[in-house]
Amino acid sequence: MRKVYFDSAATTQVHPDVITKMTEVLQDSYGNPSSIHAFGRSAKNLIEQARKQIAKQLGVTAGEIIFTSGGTEADNLALNSSVRDLGVRHIITTRIEHHAVLHTVQELQKHQDIAVSYVKILPTGAIDYAHLQELLQTATEKTLVSLMHINNEVGCILNIDAVAELCRTHNALFHSDMVQSIGHFDANLADITVDFTAVSAHKFHGPKGVGFAFVRKNSGLKPLIFGGEQERGFRGGTESVHNIVGMAEALRLAYDNLEEDTAYVTGIKDYFTAQLKQHIPEVKFNADCCQNEHNTYTLLNVCLPISSEKAGILLFHLDINGIACSRGSACQSGSSKGSHVLSEILSAEDIEKPSVRFSFSKFNTKEDVDYAVEVLKKFIES
């Protein structure tokens, strides 16, 4: 049976060169980075080299990169510490954020009595920038704006420069979950007045369980995890040296090949779009995700013309035919609840139909697309 992986928005295949680099570290640099002997100093040096490499890639200083267990921890660090340490009493966000942000904001609202405002969302998945400006203009307490750069389910791209300018004008802090964009888009953080970002290595062909927070220098942010002086006092706990080195290598490869890989993956997405339109004419592209001008080139979220009776076995059918994709975010695909993102942007009629997210990488081929469309078509027509 053919195996087709169209779930790279959930996690990507680890690049072979990254595996090689990580294996070398596991074999040769196993010292504790906090130890003062040569084994420890060697491991510590690898961490700091990785930090400098990542910082240079993003146009920031090494001291502004804090290694974490992934994007969720980085989001939690920024949101919780902003309330606890920076005096934030009002958070502006949307209802289509990743749950790493939404659930954290809800907990802060419940237990810290934080005021929360939600920016209106257009049918395309884009935010209503006029409404954001209105919320900022009427804010009376210290405010943090938390908006993801690229939505992980429908792929709409935030005008991050416009939001940064609005936040600067109204003296608000700006946090952006950039998990779906770092490694796929140019991101010189020196040119974007974002205060905090979250990044996860496994979204750009690196290992799982590691990421980083960008924390603008002199922000005043304090640790979320205590227990040691690692990460310059920002995060206690022995560093995962092989994962950190693997992440830095994956990011280097991503940006060294960005132009070539972007063109290739865009071609895969556009071919998938064309094949769906040709063979399943009633397909709908949620949030105009087939348009690359305002949406990421890495995914399609499609609403399929399938009866409610068959909808329940769609993903199972794809899976037994070797096709991996997602009903929505992999972080909530085991839930019986529908997508909180699609519920905000789809009509009452379309929300009852099955929607599937197909997400792509440099390792996909047009033959993968042909096979997936063939399986879908046969299932719909059966």
Angle between helices 16-28 and 241-256 (to 10 degrees): 150
How are the residues of the chain apportioned to helix, strand and coil, as percentages rounded to the nearest 5?
45, 15, 40
Task: Give the type of residue at 45.
Answer: N
Q: Within 13 A of 211's CA, how many CA atoms are on the CB side?
A: 27
Element (H, E) at 324: strand 323-324
Assess contact for 98 and 331: CB atoms under 8 A: yes
Distances (CA, A) of 244 to 46, 65, 83, 197, 248: 9, 12, 28, 17, 6
Distance CA 187, CA 180 (A): 12
Distance CA 136, CA 138 (A): 5
* CB within 8 Å of 79: residues ≥ 6 apart: 91, 101, 104, 105, 108, 144, 146, 175
What secondary structure does DSSP assign to 253-283, as a single string?
Answer: HHHHTHHHHHHHHHHHHHHHHHHHHHH-TT-
DSSP state of 166: H
Distance CA 95, CA 117 (A): 10
Question: Catalytic site residue 167?
Answer: no
In 197-322, which ranges are continuous DSSP H helix? 241-256, 258-279, 308-311, 314-320
Distances (CA, A) of 42 to 33, 34, 122, 198, 240: 8, 10, 51, 27, 14
User: In the chain, what's the furthest Cα-to-Cα distance?
Assistant: 67
Task: Give the type of residue at 239.
Answer: E
Catalytic residues: 331
